[in-house]
Structure 1
């Protein structure tokens, strides 16, 4: 029971905020209509139960008039006025269609809201970056957002409405079955409504056995979602790095890696197949026996003439409805295991987001403090790697507004990590970085990020493409040496694959010229350019962005001439050096 309580608590933790959100009244109204239609289907099933009895009684009595009336019009019966089947079926279809349509409308609204909420939390305080560094156990966030949220919403509504319908069906048909089954004598004791108790015993036994047989599916379904996502991620990585793999000739190694991940997927799937086979043996047999069981129990009364054929079919239908309602867990056991696995993955992801944002709010790592000041200052900054190894210790420096500063040092000394600390995203270390409040800052890494979409969006990133006039964007491209791409500004393509490394860096440089940041940090942002192009770019920066503070990481000595100061990372220390 404790596990069930914990699971339901986790489920409400995910679902609850939506029903208390700004959409709560529309969502509740839509859910209320769906519930009403769902329960109307139960009422239609009760009506069909009585119609079925009258129809088969008419067949047994060879009453052609009653037969045709019950099909196409209506007839007065012992149960009251009975509409024809065409009217019952038309109403049933109408209710079923709109119940499904409105349920799907609720699903997409709920999923949209939940996706926005999780995305906001994942992106806030750069939680996505901190999680990637500090919590490798939170695998495949893309799958948890794109698929797990969909599974959660779909299964929560489907299973919740199904359970509600089963409960209402149970109470509705228990009354019908109680009246139809009559008493039975067992060991001298008269048992009223005996078929109700038989259905209850049958369902309770089936539920217990289904859980015993199928409980192994819970961890297996959880793991299957993980290995499926791992395999898909590896395929995406191959696609995104196709050129590098081709240049290395790494196809054989990639194949080994992909097949290794696929093997893990297959192994887990075989285990699911074995567990599902055992569960299906039980559930299929359970369902097949349930078809004939009520006829076997009711047959003595029918052959004794105490009930007509219609009464027997209604008794069998009512027994099936009661037994089916009581067997809801048996019938939905696999869906329940998948739902539980999905809830575990989503709550684990939410926990990781909260932990990452909590660490950011508590100032874990190097703190970047925005203050009303014109310069930037580092105070006792210590940088470490995730394994605890210290890269830089006690760094202190000041960079004034409008300066051009070169950060130098050997590869692996911590220069790029220092930039991450200045940006406020590095969680390992201590100290403070004081940065100007409300200053516009742009970081250009060695490998530029080009978002999905048009080339115009890539140039304007992270600002909106509509923030700039067409002439401004074209001029920036031309200055960066990409004027030939101007006619393709609004063409959508995989630009990070279409353009060479040097061209991608030129797009990033065009971005800097277009955005005109007050502080510009370049982490080997011109490393893929030839020395002449690199020199032209730095000269262009001095001309076009004269008031911009420029901080560069570079290894080429020629870059130093465009900077007035130099800071060198040497043996874990940050020291002033001649530029």
Structure 2
């Protein structure tokens, strides 16, 4: 694979016709096609299974509440103490599952990050005849490899697990809501399973508001990361050049002014109202 094609899979050198989701899929699928694909697929299945166990635990606790309060209402001491032991067992299992999924996410993300880092370092340093050409396409490629890959791997796995858990919870608890909610009259219309439809409406409304508020934060975050990378690059260059003899004060003043100008362009909260 050529140098440009490797970096284009990350999204910066791709053609304008390629959609965001296609470029993201190309970047994510690299690891699942590599020599570590067996570990990647096994980890994906393991995290999916652990997420399903989290949903099962939530359903078990929901069912436990029903029997527990029934035992209190009926003054059934035997059922009460038995359900206390059941609750302790559920909590212990939930703690074990949480520790296991946290550990596995960290291991998976670290190995994915290590592979992606080696992949792009090889593309930039080893296989490229002109590394400076990449710097014209990607700003601060060294810091993007160090910082962006770290955030990409950990946050992608975290978001994927959260999305899978949420979808499984929606399906599971929708069945519960439909079963316990009756009909309701609204403006002369009978709405069956009104609690289910109310939950759907609430979720869609919250998603719409969050998308409207948070969409502009994406570009602000990108601008902030770019400015911070430029600042770190300047500080490294300043430290290196300060050790050399004959560096002029005028040159350093010029560099300092350029950094101040870059910092003044950092995104602010005022951009949210734009």
Q: Which residue of 1 aligns with 2:191?
A: 191
Instruction: Tell me the distance in 2 between the aligned counterparts of 1:117 and 1:36.
Output: 29
Matched, 1:100 2:113: no
Residues 430-579 of structure 1 mapped to structure 2, 5 A cutoff = none
5+ long unaligned stretches in structure 2? 1-15
Instruction: Tell me the distance in 1 between the aligned counterparts of 2:256 and 2:20.
Output: 39
Residue 209 of structure 1, CA deviation: 2.3
Would you tell me which structure has more strand in proportion to its own residues?
A: 1
Residues 96-495 of structure 1 mapped to structure 2, 5 A cutoff = 96-123=98-125, 124-132=127-135, 135=136, 137-244=137-244, 247-249=247-249, 252-265=253-266, 268-271=267-270
Q: 2:59 aligns with which of 38, 41, 46?
A: 46
SS of 1:126's equivalent?
coil
5+ long unaligned stretches in structure 1? 73-83, 276-579
Matched, 1:32 2:45: yes
CA contact (8 A) 1:224 1:269 kept: no
CA contact (8 A) 2:241 2:247 kept: no
Matched, 1:7 2:8: no
Q: 2:35 aligns with which of 11, 19, 22?
A: 22
Instruction: Tell me the distance in 2 between the aligned counterparts of 1:127 and 1:145.
Output: 18
Instruction: Tell me the distance in 1 between the aligned counterparts of 2:198 and 2:232.
Output: 49
Instruction: Tell me the distance in 2 between the aligned counterparts of 1:112 and 1:10.
Output: 20
Q: Structure 1 pair 52/200, CA: closer, same or farther in 2 (3 Å)?
A: same
Residue 95 of structure 1, CA deviation: 1.1
Q: Which residue of 1 aligns with 2:83?
A: 70
Q: Structure 1 pair 25/259, CA: closer, same or farther in 2 (3 Å)?
A: same
Would you tell me which structure has more helix in proportion to its own residues?
A: 2
SS of 2:185's equivalent?
strand
Instruction: Tell me the distance in 2 between the aligned counterparts of 1:255 and 1:57.
Output: 72
Instruction: Tell me the distance in 1 between the aligned counterparts of 2:246 and 2:193.
Output: 75
Instruction: Tell me the distance in 2 between the aligned counterparts of 1:213 and 1:49.
Output: 33
Tell me: higher relative CO, structure 1 or 2? Use CA pairs within 8 A at least 6 residues apart. Answer: 2
Residue 32 of structure 1, CA deviation: 0.8
Q: Which residue of 2 aligns with 1:299?
A: none
Instruction: Tell me the distance in 1 between the aligned counterparts of 2:30 and 2:138.
Output: 22
CA contact (8 A) 1:220 1:271 kept: no
Instruction: Tell me the distance in 2 between the aligned counterparts of 1:12 and 1:212.
Output: 25
Instruction: Tell me the distance in 1 between the aligned counterparts of 2:224 and 2:132.
Output: 25
Pairwise CA RMSD: 2.4
Q: Which residue of 2 aligns with 1:417?
A: none
Q: Structure 1 pair 247/130, CA: closer, same or farther in 2 (3 Å)?
A: closer
CA contact (8 A) 2:183 2:193 kept: yes
Residue 163 of structure 1, CA deviation: 0.9
Instruction: Tell me the distance in 1 between the aligned counterparts of 2:153 and 2:80.
Output: 45
* TM-score, normalised relative to structure 2: 0.84
Q: Structure 1 pair 158/57, CA: closer, same or farther in 2 (3 Å)?
A: same
Instruction: Tell me the distance in 2 between the aligned counterparts of 1:54 and 1:192.
Output: 26
SS of 2:22's equivalent?
helix
Instruction: Tell me the distance in 2 between the aligned counterparts of 1:96 and 1:6.
Output: 36
Instruction: Tell me the distance in 1 between the aligned counterparts of 2:269 and 2:205.
Output: 28
SS of 2:138's equivalent?
coil
* TM-score, normalised relative to structure 1: 0.41
Instruction: Tell me the distance in 2 between the aligned counterparts of 1:22 and 1:243.
Output: 43
Cα deviation, 1:289-341, whole Å, max 9, x if unaligned, reads xxxxxxxxxxxxxxxxxxxxxxxxxxxxxxxxxxxxxxxxxxxxxxxxxxxxx
Residue 257 of structure 1, CA deviation: 3.6
